Amino acid sequence: MAEEQKSAEEFEKDFLELKERCKILFEADPSQAHTDASLRRFLRAFQDVDVAFKMLLKYNKWRREFGVDSLSPDDPDIAEEMATGKVHILRNRDNKGRPVIYVAARKHNAYDRDIDKLRKFLVYILESACKKCNESVIDNLLLIFDLKGFTLASMDYQFVKSLIWLFSRNYPERLGNCLIINSPLIFTGCWTVISPWLNEVTASKVTFVSDETELCKYINPDALPPDDS
């Protein structure tokens, strides 16, 4: 049951229970501590105190093993992916004040990439974008996939699965909206494959934007990178 489906009192009771459980863990190892906003996101996403607590433990373990805190633009793998220009964290926020991750699909080739390097880069981008969130105001992101110039070589199902997994398991409730712009007819078949991988909540956050007028509901089109970036 999501937070909006519970009364505020019920959710707050669950939140305090989750926070108390984590308190002992955090006192033993302060490096595993979470903010109240983070605990609330996990609780909203996983609905149940027991499940949320288990997912928090798994998340902390994943961060340690993946080396999330040591990721930096100086890492050769990350620098290599950044140089392609396929992903930007925009300087401008969207109309709700959310950080924006922009993906230029045409600059990605699924047949010429290392999935491990790509995952490392993806985590670095998500971490960087989340650090730009003002959690006292809004704590989620806008993700834009620009499919201008899209070809089937750009369609990387393994990358998409990794992104869905990361948002659902390690960055729950961080996705505010996902916009798909400049979608060509050829993408219709790809979306038929992808859409069943999304749960109902995530699917409701995906919007196909057909023109600049609709895009203006989310972000000023002038904030998007130029075509050659």
Residue 20 burial class via C-beta count within 10 angstroms: exposed 0-12, middle 13-18, buried 19 and up: exposed
Closest listed residue to residue 172, CA positions, set 22, 28, 62, 27: 62
DSSP state, residue 169: I
Q: What are the φ and ψ backbone dihedral angles of 104, each rounded to 5 degrees? A: -95, 95
**Beta pairing partners, 144:** 102, 179
**Domain ranges, ordered by start, for the chain:** 3-66, 76-223
Q: What is d(CA 40, CA 166) in angstroms, rounded to the nearest whole number?
A: 18
> Sorting pLDDT into bands at 50, 70 and 90, what band is 65?
very high
Sign of CA dihedral 183, 96, 176, 169: positive
The per-residue pLDDT of the chain, averaged, comes to: 92
> Sorting pLDDT into bands at 50, 70 and 90, what band is 227?
confident
Task: Supply the pLDDT for residue 135.
Answer: 84
Q: Which CATH superfamily is domain 76-223 in?
A: CRAL-TRIO lipid binding domain (3.40.525.10)
The string over 158-177, giving b where at least 16 C-beta atoms fall within 10 Å of a residue's C-beta and e elsewhere, is: ebbebbbebbbebbbbbbbb
Q: Please give the average per-residue pLDDT across 173-192, as a whole number.
A: 96
Position 205 pLDDT exceeds 60: yes
Both tokens of 102, joined, read 């922009």
